[in-house]
Amino acid sequence: MFRTLTLAPPDAIFGLTEAFGRDPNPDKINLGAGVFKDEAGRTPVLAAVTAAERRLVDGERSKVYRPIVGEARYGELVRDLVFGDEPPPGLGDRCVTAHSPGGTGALRVVGECLAKLPRRPTVWVTTPTWANHRAIFSAAGLRLEALPYFDATANALDFGALLDGLNRPAPGDVVLLHGCCHNPTGVDPSPTQWQQIAERLSARELLPLVDFAYQGFGDGLQEDAQGVRMLAERLPELIVCSSFSKNFGLYNERTGAVSILAENADAAELVRSNLKVAIRSNYSNPPAHGANIVRTILDDAELASGWRAELAMMRDRIRGMRTLFVETLAAKRASLDGAAILRQRGMFSLIPGVGPAAAQSMRDKYSVYIVDSGRINVAGITPSNVERLCDALVGVL
């Protein structure tokens, strides 16, 4: 039977990490996968996480199954992180939060729930978007369509085209937006633009699905949630998929959540029951460890403030490297718009003019690994590799 299969292509990003591993060059640079790295190029375990794990090891008495949607307390803490400690009145009764295996797990469970709606919606994604969005929603049986988003020439949001594009989906369709730190462009709407997006979604009766994988990596935990919170105030229904892979550094613990706002408490019960069915037939119930860590940290004032400080350190390091990158490019007289790169937020930057051929030559000639689309992970830049990175970019441009 298996001989009838055709060879599937390697994953664009994990495949790049494998190729990086095989490269014997001691000066190789990996700016592919979206993971935070410190000045020494390591992806550390946060101190708050280690402290929480110590407590968990000492206190854990059983590994019995968790509820299908995870622990209620975890759900409350995630809800407050997303919607704030003082959310709009009544939001608590309208909101169902389920613990999921990472942000990917959250998106997939949402996809399966959407595919069961009596009128199966189309999912509209920004151009470009995280490559896995298409794979996840088509695997769940949904049709995808593209919305304009990025103006490659200006290296900026094409807001007029996005607003216009929002006139195309049919009422009831789903619009997938990045809560902050858009992957791969680093280009986000301003608060005023979020307000206009919320109004357009409401007027056109569209359902926003916010992928919130980088809360705290842009301008801060609260600042990064402004867009999501505006949508929550303006719209009767909203879906948010959170990932704690990046902001808690829990990549391999597969920790995330889906929060769904329904128009009232009765509709929220319908949502909860259907979410449970989608989860039960998928992975049955969530893996506990990562969520235990997040709950332990967020429920303890001291651990939570330590975590916020570590998150700020990660954010500041990425910003510092963005500035250093732009300054080094300028010193080499590279023909790139530094101001546009500095306006971007989060881990990523999409380098104009770099496509698959240039990315390939960066690998072959310079052992610099970036995604074929020209996306670089700014968090992989260090003071000791920035010169070589910029030489490679200038070389291929």
Ligand X SMILES: Cc1ncc(COP(=O)(O)O)c(C=O)c1O
DSSP string, 301-325: HHHHHHHHHHHHHHHHHHHHHHHHH
Tell the residue number behind the tokens 């919606």, with chain if given. Answer: 121
Q: Which of 104, 215, 296, 349 binds ligand X (CB under 6 A)?
A: 104
Contact region for ligand X (CB under 6 A) — 23-31, 97-105, 260-268, 366-374? 97-105
Task: State which of positions 22-61 bind ligand X (CB under 6 A).
Answer: 34
Distance in angstroms (rounded) separating the CA atoms of residues 328 and 213: 29
Calculate the CA 102 to chain-centre distance. Answer: 10
Please report whether residue 103 would count as binding ligand X according to CB under 6 A. yes
211 tagged catalytic? yes
| Whole-angstrom distance, CA of residue 377 vs CA of residue 380 | 6
What does DSSP assign to residue 87?
P
Query: How far out from the chain centre does Cα 220 lie?
Result: 15
Q: Which two tokens stand for residue 75?
A: 């759900």
Of the candidate residues 20, 83, 130, 150, the single one contacting ligand X (CB under 6 A): 130
The answer to whether 342 and 321 have CB atoms below 8 angstroms apart is no
Catalytic residue among 37, 124, 224, 246: 246
> If 0-12 CB within 10 Å is exposed, 13-18 middle and 19+ buried, where does residue 90 land?
exposed
From 97, 215, 245, 377, residue interacting with ligand X (rule: CB under 6 A):
245
Contacting residue, 158, 211, 253, 372, with ligand X by CB under 6 A: 211
User: Which residue stretch of 99-107, 150-158, 190-198, 334-342 sits at the interface with ligand X (rule: CB under 6 A)?
Assistant: 99-107
- 3-state helix, strand, coil split of the chain in percent (to 5) is 50, 15, 40
Q: CA Rg, the chain, in Å?
A: 21
276 is catalytic: no
- Considering the complex, what minimum distance in angstroms separates the CB of residue 254 from ligand X? 7
Residue-level length of the chain: 397
Among the listed residues 157, 213, 278, 291, the single contact to ligand X using CB under 6 A = 213
28 is catalytic: no
What amino acid is encoded at 365 in this protein?
Answer: K
Nearer to ligand X, 283 or 397 (CB): 283
Q: Pick between residue 245 and residue 367 the one whose CB is nearest to ligand X.
A: 245
From the list 30, 243, 296, 344, which residue makes contact with ligand X (rule: CB under 6 A)?
243
Catalytic-role residue among 158, 173, 188, 211: 211
Q: Out of 189, 227, 256, 286, which residue is the one contacting ligand X (CB under 6 A)?
A: 256
Task: For residue 290, state whether it binds ligand X (rule: CB under 6 A).
Answer: no
Contacts of ligand X in 143-202 (CB under 6 A): 178, 183
CB of 233 to ligand X, least distance (A): 23
Which two tokens mark 346?
A: 């989060």
Nearest distance, CB of residue 102 and ligand X, angstroms: 3
Q: CB 244 → ligand X: shortest distance, Å?
A: 7
Q: How many chain residues touch ligand X (CB under 6 A)?
A: 12
Beta carbon of residue 104, minimum distance to ligand X (angstroms, whole number): 3
Cα dihedral 206, 89, 226, 276 in deg (nearest 10)? -60
Alpha-carbon distance of 282 to 112, in angstroms, equals 10
CA pseudo-torsion sign 110, 213, 263, 273: positive
Which sequence positions are flagged as catalytic?
A: 130, 211, 246
Please give the residue ranges that form the binding site for ligand X (CB under 6 A): 34, 102-104, 130, 178, 183, 211, 213, 243, 245, 256
